[in-house]
């Protein structure tokens, strides 16, 4: 009797929760966002609306695994609701405390029948958007499995304006295209042509974070959070029906993930607002990451640095390599027998000059690239070993530089260009980190230029995702901070691993000497790449015209005014900021350089005052633990007048504001070095209008 009641109850459950019967809804804590989950003919769907507007229309959820489907025949076993409202404190960032407030719905699905599988979908609805992930629980019929495809759809409500770049398995260093979704194709093709190494994704795809603006004024950002043990996600584009769908990066066997239950996918994220400023202020992606993995974090410190770096991109022809060794010769065994080329930048005397400059102007560190053996033929995809990470070139005296730098209160920053040989880096990693600790280094810039070894992998495939995390975790064992270049774009993992200070993973300043970044580039970056975490953009170029260097790259130009370079320290927040230009160029403009010396790299609070993707950004920030504020404003190719509302300042006090602005005749191309510095008295009542030149900007320091 008991048993049959149980069975009857079970069938009633199936009836209730299957077919077209099941639909559940939750709303965000402020009631503005509504999420509806539905099962239709066994297929799971979700939709999201903002007030009365669709953010995404009903879109599919699910996976195809190799050998079975997790896409249909689903019924609902249970639905659990919960909510959270907590505040947590990041080790560093734009805000010293972050509110994590959401409504959660956990939908537990199962496929009736003997071979049926269980899959849960966890939705978290915040005031600024939605995160959801798939969870594959422990179950008798699911142990090891591989992913063929993720089917998640983002069914947009129209032909939105998109800020996007081509989908690629290996790189994010493309120029952005701004166009309606129906018209992005030509821009995608054009952008994809202008890079050195890449693997265009199969089909028609774009990269995330993808920024969109609807015709009726909704700003929508699609990305992922906490990318761990899973391949990076691109988006397939259907530019007729405006349905985007997940495109996981395969490995070269075509597999899109090797998993063992219990396991979760990363979070799929949709940040949304009718106010562009709130997209930039959103902490949703960080909130969806796990809390800090380390108990003790006092060794993690934001860094302002200079580097033996820009001289390799500009004048003089400085080289990373010690010699002009002919690549065609057999492998080098003894570097001390090579003939020096006389242009090797990372030599002890030159590095000391940088250390002196850093000490004089209060920088924390000096990055030195090209210090180690291997640069003579580092690009080769054929070699199995490229670099040695504990073998300095003969002219780089690591012990002496450690002594010299520490006497002056400066750190030398390590550089590990792996040449994308991740397997060899893993072999050497422990030795490399030990070498760093012994020689006084506490931060490393890693690099992944070229095609990945193991040769089965791409920069964004699952094995590499795990590699980057292994590096950051192992570095933490040695109390080392990491700045990774060319790695997969970030997904908020710096919350969990705050020693992962910054990444590149987009077109940085270096591209100003390799084709250029468009005038609107840095007005798009915060809405795209930076949604996942800080970027080592390497701003601060005062000598913007490369013709100055006589013959090296005479037609190359930085696409900003000098004042806009200053503003970038505030509009591109990062706990790791470089003053990238040559020391002698800073000596030519000491008054403007003062801003770079003053500006903070860690913040108590931030106020986005004005913002429109692709057009302009004005932001104010309060320096962490100091009564100092910094404001940055930038514009695209169009001159603009910014309005700075100082109501972020404490009431009833007067402050001195130093304004660094474009000169009256400034223009990024024709007159980039025209700037003006003035001081004014401000209070929380003040409003200032500041003019910006074409691709210009301004910076303000307030004390």
Binding site for ligand NOJ (CB under 6 A): 309, 369, 417, 447, 449, 485, 504, 510
Q: Measured from the CB atom, is 205 or 513 closer to Ca ion?
A: 513
> In sequence order, which residues have a C-beta less than 8 Å from that of residue 48 and are 6 or more positions away?
33, 34, 35, 36, 54, 55, 56, 130, 270, 272
Q: Measured from the CB atom, is 318 or 585 closer to ligand NOJ?
A: 318
Q: Which does 447 bind (CB under 5 to 8 A by kind): Ca ion, ligand NOJ, none?
A: ligand NOJ
Tell which positions 483-522 bind Ca ion, by CB under 5 A.
485
Per the CB < 8 A criterion, the answer to whether 537 and 569 are in contact is no
User: Cβ of residue 510: shortest distance to ligand NOJ, in angstroms?
Assistant: 5
Q: Which does 595 bind (CB under 5 to 8 A by kind): ligand NOJ, Ca ion, none?
A: none
Span from 21-29, 128-136, 481-489, 527-535 in contact with Ca ion (CB under 5 A): 481-489
Q: Which does 369 bind (CB under 5 to 8 A by kind): ligand NOJ, Ca ion, none?
A: ligand NOJ
Give the residue from 670, 673, 415, 420 showing the smallest Cα distance to 563: 673
Q: Measured from the CB atom, is 50 or 309 closer to ligand NOJ?
A: 309
User: Cβ of residue 389: shortest distance to ligand NOJ, in angstroms?
Assistant: 13
Span from 67-75, 300-308, 412-420, 477-485 in contact with Ca ion (CB under 5 A): 477-485
Q: Measured from the CB atom, is 228 or 449 closer to ligand NOJ?
A: 449
Give the residue from 557, 488, 540, 556 showing the smallest Cα distance to 173: 488
Q: Which residue has tokens 């591989």?
A: 146
Round to whole Å and give the CA distance between 143 and 572: 43
User: Cβ of residue 318: shortest distance to ligand NOJ, in angstroms?
Assistant: 11
User: Cβ of residue 147: shortest distance to Ca ion, in angstroms?
Assistant: 29
> In sequence order, which residues have a C-beta less than 8 Å from that of residue 311 and are 6 or more positions away?
318, 345, 582
Q: Measured from the CB atom, is 154 or 451 closer to ligand NOJ?
A: 451
User: Cβ of residue 449: shortest distance to ligand NOJ, in angstroms?
Assistant: 5
Q: Which does 57 bind (CB under 5 to 8 A by kind): Ca ion, ligand NOJ, none?
A: none
User: Cβ of residue 311: shortest distance to Ca ion, in angstroms?
Assistant: 17
Question: Residue 322, class by beta-carbon neighbours within 10 Å (0-12 exposed, 13-18 middle, 19+ buried)?
Answer: buried
Q: Which does 153 bind (CB under 5 to 8 A by kind): Ca ion, ligand NOJ, none?
A: none
Q: Measured from the CB atom, is 169 or 309 closer to ligand NOJ?
A: 309
**Residue 479: CA atoms inside 13 Å, Cβ hemisphere, count?**
12
User: Cβ of residue 528: shortest distance to ligand NOJ, in angstroms?
Assistant: 18
Span from 176-184, 482-490, 684-692, 694-702 in contact with Ca ion (CB under 5 A): 482-490
Round to whole Å and give the CA distance between 551 and 513: 13
- Residue 41 Rama label (left phi>0; alpha psi -120 to 50; beta): left
Contact flags string 431-470 toward Ca ion, x per CB under 5 A: ----------------------------------------
User: What are the CA-CA distances from residue 252 to residues 311, 334, 423, 454 (Å)?
Assistant: 37, 36, 16, 10
User: Cβ of residue 575: shortest distance to Ca ion, in angstroms?
Assistant: 19
Task: Please report the sign of the dihedral spanned by the C-alpha atoms of residue 377, residue 381, residue 383, residue 389.
Answer: positive
User: Cβ of residue 555: shortest distance to ligand NOJ, in angstroms?
Assistant: 21
User: Cβ of residue 295: shortest distance to ligand NOJ, in angstroms?
Assistant: 33
Q: Measured from the CB atom, is 44 or 450 closer to Ca ion?
A: 450
Give the residue from 645, 596, 593 showing the smallest Cα distance to 618: 645
User: Cβ of residue 673: shortest distance to Ca ion, in angstroms?
Assistant: 26
Task: Please report the sign of the dihedral spanned by the C-alpha atoms of residue 180, residue 181, residue 184, residue 185.
Answer: negative
Task: Report how far apart the first and last C-alpha atoms of the chain are (Å, whole number).
Answer: 79
The SS3 of residue 477 is helix
Q: Measured from the CB atom, is 198 or 510 closer to ligand NOJ?
A: 510
Minimal CB distance residue for ligand NOJ: 417
Range 397-420 burial, b when 16+ CB lie within 10 A, else e: bbeebbebbeeeebbbbbbbbbbb
What residues pair up with 444 in beta bridges, in sequence order?
414, 482
What residues pair up with 234 in beta bridges, in sequence order?
247
Give the residue from 550, 543, 524 showing the smallest Cα distance to 634: 524
User: Cβ of residue 231: shortest distance to ligand NOJ, in angstroms?
Assistant: 23
Task: Indicate if 510 belongs to the active site.
Answer: yes
The SS3 of residue 702 is strand
Per the CB < 8 A criterion, the answer to whether 250 and 256 are in contact is yes
Round to whole Å and give the CA distance between 525 and 163: 9
Contact flags string 140-159 toward Ca ion, x per CB under 5 A: --------------------
The SS3 of residue 323 is strand
Q: Name the CA dihedral angle for 44, 49, 53, 56, rounded to a multiple of 10 degrees.
A: -40
Catalytic residue among 224, 457, 510, 661: 510
Q: Measured from the CB atom, is 46 or 174 closer to ligand NOJ?
A: 174
Tell which positions 289-328 bind Ca ion, by CB under 5 A.
none
**626 secondary structure, DSSP code:** S
Q: Measured from the CB atom, is 415 or 479 closer to ligand NOJ?
A: 415
Q: Measured from the CB atom, is 197 or 325 closer to Ca ion?
A: 197
Task: Please report the sign of the dihedral spanned by the C-alpha atoms of residue 198, residue 513, residue 533, residue 696.
Answer: negative
Q: Measured from the CB atom, is 504 or 661 closer to Ca ion?
A: 504
Per the CB < 8 A criterion, the answer to whether 600 and 630 are in contact is yes
Rounded to 10°, the helix 398-407/348-361 angle is 20
DSSP labels for 189-243?
HHHHTS-SS--BPSSSEE-SSEEEE-TTS-EEEEEEE---SSPPEEEEEETTTTE
- Per-residue H/E/C for 526-577: HHCHHHHCCECCCCCCCCCEHHHHCCCCCCCECCCCHHHHHHHHHHCCCCEE
Question: Residue 464, class by beta-carbon neighbours within 10 Å (0-12 exposed, 13-18 middle, 19+ buried)?
Answer: buried
Binding site residues, Ca ion, CB under 5 A:
485
Residues forming the active site: 510
């Amino acid at each position: 009797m008991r048993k049959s009641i149980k069975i009857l109850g079970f069938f009633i459950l199936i009836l209730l929760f299957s077919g077209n019967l099941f639909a559940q809804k939750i709303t965000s804590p402020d009631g503005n966002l509504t999420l509806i989950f539905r099962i239709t003919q066994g297929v799971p769907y979700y939709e999201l609306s903002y007030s009365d507007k669709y953010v995404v229309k009903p879109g599919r959820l699910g996976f195809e695994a190799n050998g079975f489907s997790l896409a249909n025949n689903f019924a609902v076993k249970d639905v659990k609701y919960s909510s959270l409202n907590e505040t947590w404190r990041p080790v560093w960032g734009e805000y010293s405390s972050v509110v994590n407030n959401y409504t959660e719905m956990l939908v537990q699905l199962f496929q009736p029948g003997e071979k049926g599988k269980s899959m849960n979908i966890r939705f978290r609805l915040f005031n600024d958007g939605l995160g959801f992930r798939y969870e594959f629980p422990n179950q008798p019929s699911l142990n090891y499995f591989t992913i063929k495809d993720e089917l998640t759809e983002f069914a947009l409500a129209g032909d939105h304006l998109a800020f996007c770049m081509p989908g690629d398995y290996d790189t994010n260093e493309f120029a952005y295209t701004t166009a309606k979704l129906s018209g992005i194709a030509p821009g995608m093709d054009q952008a994809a042509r202008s890079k050195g190494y890449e693997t265009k994704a199969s089909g028609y795809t774009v990269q995330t974070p993808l920024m969109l603006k609807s015709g009726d004024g909704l700003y929508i950002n699609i990305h992922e959070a906490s990318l761990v043990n899973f391949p990076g996600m691109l988006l397939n584009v259907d530019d007729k029906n405006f349905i985007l769908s997940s495109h996981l990066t395969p490995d070269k066997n075509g597999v899109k993930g090797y998993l063992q239950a219990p396991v979760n996918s990363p979070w799929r994220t949709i940040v949304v607002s009718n106010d562009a400023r709130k997209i930039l202020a959103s902490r949703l992606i960080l909130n969806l990451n796990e809390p800090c993995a380390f108990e003790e974090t006092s060794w993690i410190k934001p860094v302002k640095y200079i580097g033996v770096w820009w001289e390799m991109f500009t004048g003089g022809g400085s080289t990373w390599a010690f010699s002009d060794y002919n690549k065609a010769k057999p492998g080098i065994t003894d570097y001390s027998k090579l003939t020096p080329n006389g242009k090797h930048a990372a030599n002890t005397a030159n590095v000391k000059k940088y250390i002196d400059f850093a000490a004089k102007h209060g920088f924390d560190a000096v990055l030195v690239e090209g210090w180690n053996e291997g640069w003579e033929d580092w690009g080769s995809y054929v070699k199995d070993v490229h670099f040695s990470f504990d073998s300095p070139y003969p002219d780089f005296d690591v012990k002496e530089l450690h002594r010299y730098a520490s006497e002056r209160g400066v750190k030398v920053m390590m550089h590990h260009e792996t040449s994308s040989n991740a397997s060899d880096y893993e072999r050497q990693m422990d030795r490399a980190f030990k070498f760093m600790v012994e020689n006084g280094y506490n931060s490393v810039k890693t690099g992944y230029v070229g095609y990945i070894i193991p040769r089965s992998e791409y920069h964004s495939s699952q094995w590499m995702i795990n590699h980057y995390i292994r590096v950051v975790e192992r570095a933490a064992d040695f109390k080392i901070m990491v700045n990774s270049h060319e790695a997969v774009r970030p997904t908020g993992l710096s919350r969990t691993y705050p020693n992962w200070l910054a990444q590149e993973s987009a077109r940085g300043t270096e591209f100003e000497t390799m084709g250029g970044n468009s005038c609107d580039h840095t007005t798009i970056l915060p809405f795209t790449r930076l949604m996942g975490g800080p970027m080592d953009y390497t701003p601060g170029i005062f000598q913007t015209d490369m013709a100055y260097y006589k013959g090296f790259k005479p037609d190359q130009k930085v696409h900003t005014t000098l004042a806009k370079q200053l503003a970038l320290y505030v509009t591109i927040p990062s706990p790791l900021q470089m003053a990238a230009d040559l020391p002698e160029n800073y000596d030519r403009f000491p008054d403007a350089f003062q801003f770079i010396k003053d500006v903070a790299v860690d913040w108590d609070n931030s106020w986005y005052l004005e913002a429109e993707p692709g057009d302009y950004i004005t932001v104010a920030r309060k320096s962490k633990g100091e009564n100092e504020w910094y404001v940055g404003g930038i514009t695209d190719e169009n001159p603009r007048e910014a309005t700075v509302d100082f109501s972020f300042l404490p009431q009833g006090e007067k402050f001195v504001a130093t304004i660094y602005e474009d000169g009256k005749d400034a223009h990024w191309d024709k007159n980039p070095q025209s700037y003006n510095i003035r001081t004014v008295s401000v209070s929380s009542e003040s409003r200032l209008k500041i003019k910006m030149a074409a691709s210009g900007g301004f910076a303000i320091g307030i004390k």
